């Protein structure tokens, strides 16, 4: 008996005879937890969801939900007999039913179930789809279709909810608000959910845990803070694209030396012997701007991101380093100008490879 609510054990995810993701093991410990699968396009994230839903078969390992094996080499519970709901990325609403009828079909599946009731009005309000209830799927936008599909899935009150890029077509201005509402309703209804997304911010916000899928395998499965701050491989660092790796030499228990930046101090996440050459992860928020500093680097690019600027600085050894600066900072630096970095450089936790 597994103590986990949901568990995947040593499964190869296959589609069309081709293995997409190998030897996957992951679990949802508690009912109501949300996990996010992050990875580049075409890596097999959707295949994982489809397999969990029973739309694809497996040849090894097992998939269990509430202590019941749903998929294994010998067992394959049909999709209609698993209480799992999948909300597809593309429009999968029934074209000849109105949005309301589509959502009510979901409610039909839910009607005999015990436990917390799901209120249709609440879902409609939360996902802001009241205006489109009487319309047909071809009469609404892609973002509206995604929300309607999400509403239908929620109404089925599944044991496990699978969301494939649920908000990819929702307008940016509305996306964050929907994320907040979605998180609220998933928490309230305690629906265990697996979300596939390529938006790391969405994954970090919605997920209790995140799985990073790269090169046909799960590279890291951890809570969002750890995934961001303590990536376990160079591939994860490159995928998250939130920092660079610079060469450095370990000079002591809490220090390293880089030819361009000088001494960098902080707490090592992992022990490295003195004198060893490493690659240090430098994230944009690790460096501080200081106009009075004597460590000056050349500005090669400046991107305005609303709340902050991201400067790309070039060192004398041609390293390109990103640095965040609050956008209210008193003056801006143009390309080719010099940009001061505060010394000594202190990093809260030092991640090296």
Footprint of other proteins (CB under 8 A):
50, 53-55, 78-82, 84-86, 88, 90-96, 105-106, 108-109, 149, 152, 156
Q: In the structure encoding, which two tokens stand for residue 181, read together?
A: 């509402």
Which class for 18: exposed (0-12), middle (13-18), buried (19 or more C-beta within 10 A)?
exposed
Residue 156 or 197 having the CB closest to other proteins: 156
Alpha carbon of residue 260 to chain centroid: 33
Smallest separation, CB 17 to other proteins (Å): 12
CB contact set of 99 (below 8 Å; sequence gap of 6+): 93, 129, 132, 133, 134, 135, 136, 137, 140, 148
Report CA Rg, the chain: 24
Judged by DSSP in three states, 41 sits in coil
State in angstroms the smallest separation of the CB of 165 from other proteins.
13
The nearer residue to other proteins, 111 or 305, going by C-beta atoms, is 111
Pick 108 or 177: Cβ nearer other proteins: 108
Task: Detail the DSSP E strand segments found in 74-208.
Answer: 84-87, 160-164, 192-197
Place of tokens 């009241």: 130
Strands 262-268 and 255-258: antiparallel
User: Which residue, 31 or 108, has its beta carbon nearer to other proteins?
Assistant: 108
Q: Which is nearer to other proteins, 80 or 334 (CB)?
A: 80
Give whichever of 4 and 153 is closer to other proteins, judged by the CB atom.
Answer: 153
Bridge-based pairing of strands 308-314 and 277-282 is unpaired
316 prior amide bond cis, ω within 30: no
Closest distance of CB 16 from other proteins, Å: 9
Residue 3 Cβ, how far from other proteins at the closest point, in Å?
Answer: 27
Phi-psi region of 132 (alpha: psi -120 to 50; beta: other; left: phi over 0): alpha
Task: Decide whether 170 or 313 has the Cβ nearer to other proteins.
Answer: 170
Q: How far is the CB of 90 from other proteins (least distance, A)?
A: 6
Closest distance between other proteins and the C-beta of residue 33, in Å? 21
Min dist. Cβ of residue 156 to other proteins (A) = 6
Nearest CB to other proteins, comparing residues 87 and 255: 87
- Residue 160 is encoded by which pair of tokens? 């496990």
Greatest C-alpha distance within the chain: 71
Residues paired with residue 245 on neighbouring β-strands, in sequence order: 281
Report the nearest approach of other proteins to the CB of residue 26 (Å): 21
Residues present in the chain in total: 353
- Closest approach, Cβ 87 to other proteins, in A, equals 8
Q: Which is nearer to other proteins, 9 or 157 (CB)?
A: 157
Residue 279: strand pairing partners: 247
Distance (Å, whole) CA 156 – CA 151: 9
């Amino acid at each position: 008996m597994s103590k986990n609510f949901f568990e995947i054990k040593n499964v190869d995810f296959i589609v069309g005879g081709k293995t997409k993701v190998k030897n996957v093991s992951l679990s949802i410990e508690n009912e109501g937890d949300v996990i996010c699968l992050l990875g580049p396009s075409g890596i097999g994230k959707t295949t994982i969801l489809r397999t969990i839903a029973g739309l694809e078969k497996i040849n090894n390992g097992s998939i269990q939900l509430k202590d019941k094996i749903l998929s294994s080499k010998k067992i394959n519970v049909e999709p209609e007999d698993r209480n799992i709901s999948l909300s597809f990325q593309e429009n999968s609403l029934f074209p000849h039913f109105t949005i309301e009828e589509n959502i009510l079909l979901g409610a039909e599946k839910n009607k005999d179930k015990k436990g917390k009731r799901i209120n249709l009005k609440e879902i409609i309000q939360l996902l802001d789809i009241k205006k489109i209830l009487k319309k047909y799927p071809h009469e609404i936008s892609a973002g509206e279709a995604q929300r309607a599909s999400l509403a239908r899935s929620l109404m089925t009150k599944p044991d496990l909810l699978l969301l494939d890029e649920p908000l990819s077509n929702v307008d940016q201005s509305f996306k964050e608000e929907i994320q907040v509402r979605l998180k609220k309703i998933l928490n309230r209804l305690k629906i265990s959910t697996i979300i596939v997304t390529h938006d790391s911010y969405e994954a970090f916000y919605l997920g209790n845990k995140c799985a990073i899928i790269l090169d046909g395998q799960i590279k890291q499965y951890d809570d969002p803070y750890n995934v961001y701050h303590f990536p376990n491989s160079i591939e994860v660092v490159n995928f998250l694209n939130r920092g660079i790796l610079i060469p450095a030499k370990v000079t002591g228990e809490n220090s390293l030396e880089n030819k361009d930046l000088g001494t960098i101090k902080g707490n090592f996440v992992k022990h490295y012997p003195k004198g060893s050459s490493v690659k240090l992860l430098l994230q944009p928020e690790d460096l501080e701007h200081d106009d009075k500093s004597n460590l000056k680097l050349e500005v090669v690019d400046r991107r305005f991101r609303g709340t902050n600027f991201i400067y790309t600085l070039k060192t004398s050894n041609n390293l390109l380093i990103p640095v965040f600066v609050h956008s209210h900072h008193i003056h801006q630096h143009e390309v080719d100008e010099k940009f001061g970095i505060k010394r000594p450089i202190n990093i809260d936790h030092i991640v090296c490879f």
